[in-house]
Amino acid sequence: LIEDEAPIETSAVERMEANDQEKPIVGIIMGSDSDLPVMSAGCKLLEEFGVPIEVTIVSAHRTPHRMSKYAIEASKRGIKAIIAGAGGAAHLPGMVAAMTPLPVIGVPVKGSCLDGVDSLHSIVQMPRGVPVATVGINNSINAALLAIRILGGFDFQYQTKMNKFLLKQEEEVLEKANIMED
Ligand code: RP5
Protein backbone atom coordinates (compact mmCIF):
# COMPACT_ATOMS: atom_id res chain seq x y z
CA LEU A 1 0.00 0.00 0.00
CA ILE A 2 2.73 2.43 1.01
CA GLU A 3 4.86 1.61 -2.07
CA ASP A 4 1.97 2.21 -4.47
CA GLU A 5 0.91 5.52 -3.06
CA ALA A 6 1.82 8.73 -4.86
CA PRO A 7 4.69 10.66 -3.27
CA ILE A 8 3.69 13.04 -0.52
CA GLU A 9 2.81 16.28 -2.21
CA THR A 10 2.97 19.51 -0.35
CA SER A 11 1.17 22.63 -1.37
CA ALA A 12 2.43 26.13 -0.83
CA VAL A 13 0.17 26.38 2.20
CA GLU A 14 1.43 23.14 3.69
CA ARG A 15 5.08 23.60 3.00
CA MET A 16 7.50 26.32 3.93
CA GLU A 17 11.15 25.65 3.29
CA ALA A 18 13.86 27.84 4.76
CA ASN A 19 15.98 27.41 1.71
CA ASP A 20 14.68 25.89 -1.51
CA GLN A 21 18.24 25.11 -2.61
CA GLU A 22 19.00 22.88 0.36
CA LYS A 23 17.47 19.56 1.22
CA PRO A 24 15.53 19.72 4.48
CA ILE A 25 17.17 18.03 7.47
CA VAL A 26 14.47 18.76 10.06
CA GLY A 27 10.87 17.85 9.39
CA ILE A 28 8.18 19.78 11.22
CA ILE A 29 4.82 18.10 11.07
CA MET A 30 1.55 18.89 12.80
CA GLY A 31 -1.84 17.30 13.06
CA SER A 32 -3.80 20.26 11.74
CA ASP A 33 -3.36 23.72 10.28
CA SER A 34 -4.85 24.91 13.58
CA ASP A 35 -1.49 23.91 15.16
CA LEU A 36 0.47 26.27 12.91
CA PRO A 37 0.28 29.38 15.14
CA VAL A 38 2.02 27.35 17.88
CA MET A 39 4.45 25.54 15.59
CA SER A 40 5.49 28.56 13.55
CA ALA A 41 7.66 29.98 16.37
CA GLY A 42 9.84 26.88 16.25
CA CYS A 43 9.96 26.99 12.44
CA LYS A 44 11.11 30.61 12.58
CA LEU A 45 13.86 29.78 15.06
CA LEU A 46 15.14 26.92 12.91
CA GLU A 47 15.23 29.28 9.95
CA GLU A 48 17.18 31.80 12.01
CA PHE A 49 19.74 29.10 12.78
CA GLY A 50 19.98 28.35 9.06
CA VAL A 51 18.54 24.85 9.38
CA PRO A 52 16.92 23.61 6.16
CA ILE A 53 13.40 22.57 7.13
CA GLU A 54 10.20 21.25 5.69
CA VAL A 55 6.82 21.96 7.23
CA THR A 56 3.63 20.10 6.55
CA ILE A 57 0.40 18.73 7.94
CA VAL A 58 0.35 15.04 8.81
CA SER A 59 -2.56 13.79 10.86
CA ALA A 60 -2.37 10.49 12.71
CA HIS A 61 -6.14 10.15 12.65
CA ARG A 62 -7.30 11.92 9.50
CA THR A 63 -4.42 10.91 7.20
CA PRO A 64 -3.00 7.71 8.70
CA HIS A 65 -1.51 6.47 5.42
CA ARG A 66 0.21 9.79 4.81
CA MET A 67 1.58 9.61 8.36
CA SER A 68 3.09 6.16 7.94
CA LYS A 69 4.54 7.11 4.55
CA TYR A 70 6.09 10.25 6.01
CA ALA A 71 7.56 8.38 8.98
CA ILE A 72 8.92 5.50 6.90
CA GLU A 73 10.48 7.72 4.24
CA ALA A 74 11.82 10.60 6.34
CA SER A 75 15.25 9.11 7.09
CA LYS A 76 15.71 8.00 3.47
CA ARG A 77 15.06 11.58 2.36
CA GLY A 78 17.85 12.90 4.60
CA ILE A 79 15.75 14.14 7.50
CA LYS A 80 17.77 13.95 10.74
CA ALA A 81 15.11 14.87 13.29
CA ILE A 82 11.34 15.23 13.31
CA ILE A 83 9.36 17.74 15.34
CA ALA A 84 5.73 16.70 15.65
CA GLY A 85 3.09 18.95 17.14
CA ALA A 86 -0.40 17.77 17.99
CA GLY A 87 -3.24 18.57 20.33
CA GLY A 88 -5.96 16.64 22.13
CA ALA A 89 -5.55 12.91 21.61
CA ALA A 90 -2.08 13.71 20.35
CA HIS A 91 -0.95 10.41 18.85
CA LEU A 92 1.11 11.82 15.98
CA PRO A 93 4.56 12.07 17.65
CA GLY A 94 4.32 8.61 19.18
CA MET A 95 3.07 6.89 16.05
CA VAL A 96 5.75 8.55 13.93
CA ALA A 97 8.41 7.53 16.49
CA ALA A 98 7.16 3.94 16.19
CA MET A 99 7.92 3.96 12.46
CA THR A 100 11.25 5.79 12.21
CA PRO A 101 14.74 5.39 13.69
CA LEU A 102 15.05 9.20 13.81
CA PRO A 103 14.71 11.26 16.99
CA VAL A 104 11.18 12.59 17.35
CA ILE A 105 10.43 15.66 19.41
CA GLY A 106 6.82 16.07 20.47
CA VAL A 107 5.13 19.42 21.01
CA PRO A 108 1.89 19.18 22.98
CA VAL A 109 -0.44 21.80 21.49
CA LYS A 110 -2.97 23.36 23.82
CA GLY A 111 -6.49 22.85 22.49
CA SER A 112 -9.70 24.53 23.55
CA CYS A 113 -10.25 22.02 26.37
CA LEU A 114 -8.20 20.68 29.27
CA ASP A 115 -5.49 23.35 28.98
CA GLY A 116 -3.25 21.15 26.85
CA VAL A 117 -2.71 18.62 29.62
CA ASP A 118 -4.46 16.04 27.46
CA SER A 119 -1.93 16.69 24.66
CA LEU A 120 1.00 16.59 27.09
CA HIS A 121 -0.04 13.29 28.62
CA SER A 122 -0.79 11.75 25.23
CA ILE A 123 2.71 12.57 24.02
CA VAL A 124 4.85 12.08 27.11
CA GLN A 125 3.51 8.71 28.28
CA MET A 126 5.18 6.57 25.63
CA PRO A 127 5.75 2.89 26.26
CA ARG A 128 9.29 1.72 27.02
CA GLY A 129 11.20 1.22 23.77
CA VAL A 130 9.66 4.04 21.73
CA PRO A 131 10.87 7.41 23.04
CA VAL A 132 9.47 10.81 22.15
CA ALA A 133 11.39 13.79 23.52
CA THR A 134 8.50 15.83 24.87
CA VAL A 135 8.77 19.59 25.39
CA GLY A 136 6.41 21.83 27.32
CA ILE A 137 2.89 22.68 26.20
CA ASN A 138 3.00 24.97 23.13
CA ASN A 139 6.80 25.20 23.43
CA SER A 140 7.83 24.75 19.81
CA ILE A 141 10.83 26.99 20.50
CA ASN A 142 12.33 24.38 22.82
CA ALA A 143 11.56 21.69 20.26
CA ALA A 144 13.53 23.66 17.69
CA LEU A 145 16.42 24.24 20.10
CA LEU A 146 16.53 20.54 20.94
CA ALA A 147 16.56 19.64 17.24
CA ILE A 148 19.48 22.03 16.72
CA ARG A 149 21.36 20.41 19.62
CA ILE A 150 20.80 17.00 18.01
CA LEU A 151 22.17 18.32 14.71
CA GLY A 152 25.14 19.75 16.63
CA GLY A 153 26.15 16.23 17.62
CA PHE A 154 27.35 15.56 14.07
CA ASP A 155 27.53 19.01 12.47
CA PHE A 156 29.76 21.36 14.41
CA GLN A 157 28.33 24.55 12.89
CA TYR A 158 25.18 24.01 14.96
CA GLN A 159 27.18 23.65 18.17
CA THR A 160 28.87 26.95 17.43
CA LYS A 161 25.51 28.59 16.74
CA MET A 162 24.02 27.11 19.90
CA ASN A 163 26.91 28.45 21.98
CA LYS A 164 26.33 31.91 20.52
CA PHE A 165 22.62 31.65 21.26
CA LEU A 166 23.27 30.66 24.89
CA LEU A 167 25.74 33.49 25.34
CA LYS A 168 23.34 36.05 23.89
CA GLN A 169 20.51 34.74 26.05
CA GLU A 170 22.67 35.01 29.16
CA GLU A 171 23.73 38.55 28.26
CA GLU A 172 20.11 39.61 27.78
CA VAL A 173 19.10 38.31 31.20
CA LEU A 174 22.13 39.87 32.90
CA GLU A 175 21.33 43.20 31.23
CA LYS A 176 17.77 43.07 32.60
CA ALA A 177 19.13 42.16 36.04
CA ASN A 178 21.47 45.14 35.91
CA ILE A 179 18.65 47.49 34.92
CA MET A 180 16.52 46.17 37.79
CA GLU A 181 19.34 46.68 40.28
CA ASP A 182 20.04 50.25 39.15
C1 RP5 B 1 -5.19 17.31 16.47
O2 RP5 B 1 -6.45 17.77 16.77
C3 RP5 B 1 -4.46 18.46 15.88
O4 RP5 B 1 -3.10 18.33 16.16
C5 RP5 B 1 -5.08 19.66 16.55
O6 RP5 B 1 -4.27 20.15 17.61
C7 RP5 B 1 -6.37 19.14 17.09
C8 RP5 B 1 -7.57 19.85 16.57
O9 RP5 B 1 -7.54 19.85 15.16
P10 RP5 B 1 -8.60 20.71 14.32
O11 RP5 B 1 -9.93 20.19 14.69
O12 RP5 B 1 -8.39 22.15 14.76
O13 RP5 B 1 -8.23 20.51 12.88
O14 RP5 B 1 -5.21 16.24 15.57
Q: Quick check: is 9 in a domain?
A: no
pLDDT in tens, 66-80: 999 999 999 999 999
Question: What is the average pLDDT across 39-58?
Answer: 98
Question: What is the average pLDDT across 61-68?
Answer: 98
> What residues are paired with 82 via a beta bridge?
27, 104
Ligand 1 test: best mutation among 13, 28, 33, 34, most atoms within 8 Å of CB?
34
pLDDT in tens, 74-112: 999 999 999 999 999 999 999 999 999 999 999 999 999
Q: How far apart are CA 162 and CA 166, in angstroms?
A: 6
Q: How far apart are CA 115 and CA 1, in angstroms?
A: 38
Q: How far apart are CA 47 and CA 57, in angstroms?
A: 18
Q: Quick check: is 102 in a domain?
A: yes
Assess whether the C-beta atom of 116 lies below 6 angstroms from ligand 1.
no
In 3D, which of 126, 120, 121 has the Cα closest to residue 98?
A: 126
Q: Quick check: is 148 in a domain?
A: yes
How many residues belong to the chain?
Answer: 182
Question: What is the average pLDDT across 168-181?
Answer: 96
Assess whether the C-beta atom of 24 lies below 6 angstroms from ligand 1.
no
Q: Quick check: is 49 in a domain?
A: yes
What average pLDDT does the chain have?
92
SS3 category, 90 = coil
122 is in which domain, residue-wise? 26-155
Assess whether the C-beta atom of 138 lies below 6 angstroms from ligand 1.
no
Q: Quick check: is 147 in a domain?
A: yes
pLDDT over threshold 90, residue 44: yes
SS3 category, 170 = helix
For residues 12 and 27, the answer to whether their CB atoms sit within 8 Å is no
The CATH number linked to 90 is 3.40.50.1970
For residues 54 and 17, the answer to whether their CB atoms sit within 8 Å is yes
Q: Quick check: is 82 in a domain?
A: yes
pLDDT over threshold 60, residue 167: yes
Question: What is the average pLDDT across 32-39?
Answer: 98
Question: What is the average pLDDT across 4-25?
Answer: 56
Q: Calculate what percentage of the chain has a pLDDT beyond 90.
A: 86
Assess whether the C-beta atom of 86 lies below 6 angstroms from ligand 1.
yes
Question: What is the average pLDDT across 23-38?
Answer: 98
Q: What is the DSSP letter of 59?
A: -
Domains identified in the chain, total number: 1
Question: What is the average pLDDT across 40-47?
Answer: 98
Q: Quick check: is 60 in a domain?
A: yes
Assess whether the C-beta atom of 88 lies below 6 angstroms from ligand 1.
yes
Rounded to two decimals, what is the model's pTM? 0.89
Q: Quick check: is 15 in a domain?
A: no
Q: Calculate what percentage of the chain has a pLDDT beyond 70.
A: 88
